[in-house]
Amino acid sequence: MPIRLRISSAIPALIAALVLLTAGAAEAAPLPPSASTGKPDMVTSSSARATGTVDPHGLPTNYFFRYGASKSYGFATLSTSAGTGSAPLPVSAQLTPLSAETTYHVQLVAENAAGTSFGSDRTFTTKPTPNTVILGTAPNPVLFGHTVAIDGQLKGAGAAGAKVTLQADPFPYPPGGFPQVGNPVVTNNFGFFSFTALPTFTTQYRVVATGKANPVTAVAVVGVVLRVHVDIHRSHNHRVVPLIHGLATPGHPGSLALLERLSRGNYRIVGVMTLHGGSATTPSGFAGRIRVHVTGRYRVEVRATDGSNFPGFSTTFGLRAS
């Protein structure tokens, strides 16, 4: 007797439900994050910013950047949360410290419970070390007629063999100043350079150094002290007041020559003379008969009324009371 199988009409519906359930489960399967490495920016000689985007695909996701001088990387930023979103999220991290003039590789890495994703490898090159210049002067202030040494050192990229130019802007510092003085010099292997100058008035000196990274400047002010020479013409007659006369260089007609007496470690003004004649290249003269009431040590101080030179002092000399 043949066996008859009765297929229930509910079975097709059950199969359809299983198919839908399986498809839903497949659709709900968690996905690893997406990671895309962006172009590094804000690059300096010692740092850069790594950029990129991360899509967490709905799962808690962290990211970090690997970086180094090769694709082996070797360094990594701190792991940071990218949240649980479902859209690309811009991310970034600072890379520091870095070496100047060095090519680096960087890669974004994102990870969540479903897996780890790696962005593409990107490269960038750090900039040269910024140049700086150290400047010194000696002696400063300098006595008129003497030279001043203007020495310095260029530091940073290309410091050795760099061209350095000296410029000067003397008192009264006219607009558009700082014309070049002499010929440029070249720094030695350690970036050192030196100039010699002979200023007449107080002068602002500027050096312009052109290194590999960027031109840099430094300014130093050199004061120039008036040179003062005094002669005393004494009479054999002690009742005659001695004649005090002398020269001040450079010339400052109309400025004052002050006779000063040493008293208890300080100088006190006891007489005044006026400078006559002279110019920037020739001396001014002064003369006067000044009666002094105290025997002692004296000097003459000359002050430039316009401030273009530092006050100058003669050597000390003795005067008797008259």
List pLDDT tens digits, range 1-13. 454 545 455 555 5
Among 222, 227, 226, residue whose Cα is nearest residue 138: 222
- Taking Cα atoms as reference points, which of 146, 115, 284 lies closest to residue 222? 146
Instruction: Name which of 62, 72, 117, 58 is nearest 93 in CA terms.
Output: 62
Phi-psi region of 9 (alpha: psi -120 to 50; beta: other; left: phi over 0): alpha
Is there a cis peptide before residue 30, judged by omega within 30 degrees of 0?
no
Contact 262, 297 (CB under 8 A): yes
CATH superfamily, domain at 132-224: Immunoglobulins (2.60.40.10)
Residue 296: strand, helix, or coil:
strand
Contact by Cβ (8 Å): 258, 302: yes
User: Residue 12 has what pLDDT?
Assistant: 55
How far lies 140's CA from each of 135, 172, 241, in Å?
Answer: 13, 18, 38
Q: Residue 315: what pLDDT?
A: 97
Angle (CA) 315-261-318 rounded to 5° is 55
Low-confidence ranges of the chain (pLDDT < 70): 1-28, 211-214, 236-240
Report DSSP state, residue 41. B
Q: Give the pLDDT score at 5.
A: 44
d(CA 32, CA 112): 6
Position 158 scores a pLDDT of 84
The pLDDT of residue 213: 61
- Superfamily, domain 226-319: Immunoglobulins (2.60.40.10)
For residue 29, give the DSSP letter.
-
The whole-number pLDDT of residue 132 equals 87
The pLDDT assigned to 2 comes to 52
Domain with CATH 2.60.40.10 in the chain: 34-125, 132-224, 226-319
Tell me, what's the pLDDT at 31?
A: 93
Q: Give me the CATH code for the 34-125 domain, please.
A: 2.60.40.10
